């Protein structure tokens, strides 16, 4: 434990320098940036001074053991933590240069632009079609032809169209777990987001469904920025361009995936990816 503390205090310095050096280039490259982000649930600090930048059209994976704050972190990016009463946030999250937590920032507009996929597939208890068009309707698209067009396009983007095109008006609850999760992705895509946040999207799926979602993520990054939280290190290694490692609410290491997995700078990170803890 003592070692760990020393390690951590060292990290802080190193990390800030590293973050700024490793990722130092054109500011337009970044979509989301968080600065000195601190978060408390009641008295428990769940995030400690997080500074991170996320690149456009790349997949960034956040890994770390359970309870390290990775889900909490990405929930900050579309302000889903607002729902939790005991939650208190300090610091800034910049989306295209504007602070999400500004008093005049429009939460709903930002949520539309920053889509989110949850750990457990959560299709609404209505038809596949109604699920997809729920978002567009919320955002005032009312013409049937346009809705149909959006539905088809989003389902195709989520590689679900061929499987559900004949049962668009059946209940979404009848789909398999993997299909449900792709439906949720299609639902998020239907409101034309710029960023997709994914909170362990494959945690409750079997390997084949997981494979499909991973393939899909690799396709999605052509058009969207993806930030994915995952428990599964192999998954992070397979699909992400950048990887961040979190531990006990702190960002321990962040860099290009290949570099981080092959040559981790931090002892803690090395232990984690070699399976010595976590």
Residue 120 or 267: the one with the smaller Cβ distance to other proteins is: 120
Residue 97 or 174: the one with the smaller Cβ distance to other proteins is: 174
Minimum gap (Å) between residue 225 Cβ and other proteins: 16
Minimum gap (Å) between residue 115 Cβ and other proteins: 7
Residue 31 or 273: the one with the smaller Cβ distance to other proteins is: 31
Using CA atoms, how far apart are residues 24 and 46, in angstroms rounded to an integer? Answer: 27
Q: How far apart are the first and last CA of the chain?
A: 15
Minimum gap (Å) between residue 99 Cβ and other proteins: 18
Residue 115 or 178: the one with the smaller Cβ distance to other proteins is: 115
Burial class (CB in 10 A: 0-12, 13-18, 19+), 63: buried
Tell me the residue ranges of DSSP E strands in 118-262. Answer: 195-199, 225-229, 242-247, 250-256
Binding site for other proteins (CB under 8 A): 78, 80, 83, 85, 106, 108-112, 115-116, 118, 120, 122-126, 134-136, 138-141, 146, 149-150, 153, 156-157, 159, 161-162, 173-174, 184, 187-188, 191-192, 219, 222-223
Q: Which of 246, 270, 276 is nearest to 37 (CA)?
A: 246
Residue 36 or 108: the one with the smaller Cβ distance to other proteins is: 108
Minimum gap (Å) between residue 262 Cβ and other proteins: 32
The SS3 of residue 199 is strand
Three-state SS annotation for 151-182: HHHHHHHCCCHHHHHHHCCCEHHHCCHHHHHH
């Amino acid at each position: 434990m003592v070692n760990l503390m020393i390690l951590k205090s060292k990290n802080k310095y190193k990390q800030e320098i590293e973050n700024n050096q490793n990722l130092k280039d054109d500011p337009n490259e970044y979509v989301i940036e968080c600065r000195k982000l601190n978060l408390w649930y009641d008295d428990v600090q769940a995030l400690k001074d997080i500074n991170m930048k996320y690149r456009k059209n790349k997949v960034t994976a956040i890994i770390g053991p359970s309870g390290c704050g990775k889900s909490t972190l990405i929930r900050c990016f579309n302000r889903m933590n607002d729902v939790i009463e005991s939650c208190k946030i300090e610091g800034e999250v910049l989306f295209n240069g504007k602070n999400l937590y500004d008093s005049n920032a429009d939460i709903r507009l930002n949520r539309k632009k920053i889509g989110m996929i949850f750990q457990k597939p959560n299709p609404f208890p209505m038809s596949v079609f109604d699920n997809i068009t729920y978002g567009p309707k919320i955002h005032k698209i009312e013409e049937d032809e346009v809705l149909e067009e959006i539905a088809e396009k989003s389902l195709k983007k989520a590689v679900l169209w061929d499987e559900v095109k004949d049962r668009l008006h059946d209940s979404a609850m009848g789909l398999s777990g993997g299909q449900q999760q792709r439906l949720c992705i299609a639902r998020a895509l239907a409101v034309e987001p710029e960023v997709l946040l994914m909170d362990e999207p494959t945690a409750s799926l079997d390997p084949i469904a997981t494979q499909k979602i991973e393939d899909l993520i690799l396709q999605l990054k052509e058009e969207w920025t993806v930030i994915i939280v995952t428990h599964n290190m192999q998954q992070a290694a397979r699909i992400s361009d950048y990887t961040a490692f979190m531990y006990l609410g702190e960002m321990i290491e962040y860099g290009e995936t290949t570099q981080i997995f092959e040559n981790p700078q931090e002892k803690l990170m090395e232990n984690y990816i070699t399976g010595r803890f976590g």
